[in-house]
Amino acid sequence: MDQASHVSARLYREALLHDPNRPLYHFAIADGDGMPGDSNGAFFADGRYHLMYLYRSHADDTFNWGHISSRDLLHWRHHPDALRGEKGDEGAFSGGAFVDEDGAAYLTFWKFAARDGSDNSAIAIARAYPPYDAWERLRPVAVPAAEWGIASVNVDGQDVPVCCADPSNIWKKDGWYYMQTGNLCVLNKYGREENAPREYQGDWTDLFKSRDLIHWRYVHRFYHNPRMGADDWPDRTEDDMCPSFLPLYDQKSGGKPTGKYLQLFIAHNRGSQYYVGRLEGETFVPEIHGRFSWKDRMCFAPEALVDDQNRQIAWHWIMDGSEGDIGPAGWRGVYNFPRVLWLEGDTLKMAPAQELDRLQFRPQRFDIGTVRGETPLAIANGESFRLRASIRMGHARRAGFAVREDDETGERVEICVDRDRQALVMDVSSMPAAGQFAPVQEEAPFALGEDEELRLDLFVDRSVIEVYANERQAICRLVFPTRPHRALGVQALSDGAEYVSLDAWEMDASNPY
């Protein structure tokens, strides 16, 4: 690397450090163009968390998988890219990961078609051994495509189109390796018309299995949506891509298997969502459906792993709405803080990984009692803080907070629980648009029991706002105040609720830049 390159690298890092919107402790892609910026290939091995991220390498004109790892979910080390373009193709789109008994890690991915026309894309697999820096593609590809994103298999003497996009993680059962494939391309070709066959409408995935991780054969549809379009279950327009399929445990940490599984996925038109269900032989049976994005698709592209504490930990790409060039900031691509998911009865519980506590410093405690209207809070650092509150609602119908408030522009983000709407609400309607995402009021279903205390865990990281309510609902969005260095105000909001406890901390930076 010559001197000019060193200077350019330093200037780029300094520009990122001075960007008032760049998060301090939510992982942000450092390689420039995180569009698409899907989280991919998460696995846990030898005490380290590994996570891949999709980004567009303008140097190679390919879609690459960046690779980071961490021991504490806070500080991440960059590895060489795990996947790059090969033989003139454009690289790789999304997929998953798996670690076998011998310590070998495998990445499943959607390989682009060769630019010279010698293949039509495929599901492919790469393998690496500790320290997981050198990834070798297995030959032949796992599932060759007949056309972009679609394979053709023979079922009962007939050629049938099946999914050949966005493979899931691999799992192992009874000596077989399994993976599922996403259905967008098949849905687009065969299921979009009003009179399309029912079996090609809506969301599903296809299942493949192998004895040796090299030779794969088609099994059948992995699941069927049993309640299409009912009670906010996915409708006929929603696909299943970026699938992740892992067991659920009964506690936040150190739990036991529940016998149920979590299928995380996206619909491209509705964003991130999930099924909870059971595995019957080689078929998944969805029983519960929920979403992580309700008003638009800002919460996108989930990826998850299970660690040695029996924690299922998930990331989502939080889309910034940018289109075209990445703009003067010179970067894009942000993930929510690692989110732990577990099952309690019929409820999917969720909370930020406990490692977040280690970033807290400069504690503050507020004794504000009953709030009618708005009560200002003198938060030490309004652009980077965590706030935890226990609130006794009584007869109040609404309670929460306003953050990133700017008195002069009138911009702020309101976050509250509305008992009449039975919703956790994040209202960004006074903020500027985030690219293609209009200012909205996002509402996540949340019913608070009559005598149940409201517990809010809210954290602000410059442009990232996340909130959890009673560990059973959460919203995460990006916001871009007009004057980020002035949008520091915080208010408690209510129509008569009692704020029993209210603690705040400033949050330390963990991103290198």
309 & 420 share domain? no
pLDDT in tens, 281-295: 999 999 999 999 999
93 & 213 share domain? yes
Strand pairing report for 411-418 and 205-210 = unpaired
223 & 107 share domain? yes
Q: Is the peptide bond before 197 cis (omega within 30 degrees of 0)?
A: no
Could you say which of 289, 305, 339 is where a domain stops? 339
Confidence of residue 177 (pLDDT cuts 50, 70, 90): very high
Residue 490's nearest CA partner among 454, 460, 467 is 460
| Higher-pLDDT residue of 31, 112 | 112
pLDDT of residue 325: 67
pLDDT in tens, 54-111: 999 888 889 999 999 999 999 999 999 999 998 788 999 999 999 999 999 999 999 9
Q: Is residue 13 part of a domain?
A: no
The CATH number linked to 496 is: 2.60.120.560
71 & 197 share domain? yes
370 & 335 share domain? no
C-alpha span between 26 and 97 (Å, rounded): 22
303 & 429 share domain? no
Lowest average pLDDT, out of 107-121, 308-322, 445-459, goes to 107-121
Long-range CB pairs of 126-130, under 8 A, 24+ apart, other chains included: 126/82, 126/83, 127/213, 128/82, 128/104, 129/103, 129/104, 129/105, 130/45, 130/46, 130/103
For 295, the 3-state DSSP assignment is coil
C-alpha span between 449 and 83 (Å, rounded): 48
Q: Is residue 69 part of a domain?
A: yes
Confidence of residue 118 (pLDDT cuts 50, 70, 90): confident
Confidence of residue 1 (pLDDT cuts 50, 70, 90): low
C-alpha span between 474 and 111 (Å, rounded): 33
Q: Is residue 3 part of a domain?
A: no
293 & 411 share domain? no
Q: Is residue 91 part of a domain?
A: yes
**DSSP H or E stretch at residue 461:** strand 454-461
Q: Is residue 451 part of a domain?
A: yes
Residue 450, both tokens? 């009559």
Could you say which of 308, 339, 370 is where a domain stops? 339
pLDDT of residue 510: 96
406 & 457 share domain? yes
310 & 165 share domain? yes
C-alpha span between 482 and 408 (Å, rounded): 11
Strand pairing report for 489-507 and 143-144 = unpaired
pLDDT of residue 88: 80
241 & 322 share domain? yes
Q: Is residue 351 part of a domain?
A: no
The CATH number linked to 94 is: 2.115.10.20
Residue 469's nearest CA partner among 460, 456, 458 is 456
C-alpha span between 86 and 68 (Å, rounded): 21
Residue ranges making up the domain that contains 226: 43-248+258-339
| Burial track 331-343 (b if 16+ CB lie within 10 A, e otherwise) | bbbbbbbbbbbbb
C-alpha span between 381 and 288 (Å, rounded): 40
Total structural domains in the chain?
A: 2
Beta bridge partners of 499: 369, 391
| DSSP of 217-278 | EEEEES---TTTTSTT---TT---EEEEEEEEESSSSS--EEEEEEEEEEETTTEEEEEEEE
Q: Is residue 15 part of a domain?
A: no
Sign of CA pseudo-dihedral 489, 493, 498, 500: negative
231 & 297 share domain? yes
pLDDT in tens, 327-349: 656 788 999 999 999 999 999 99
Q: Is residue 62 part of a domain?
A: yes
Rg (CA), the chain: 23
Q: Output the pTM of the full model.
A: 0.96
Average pLDDT, the chain: 95
268 & 417 share domain? no
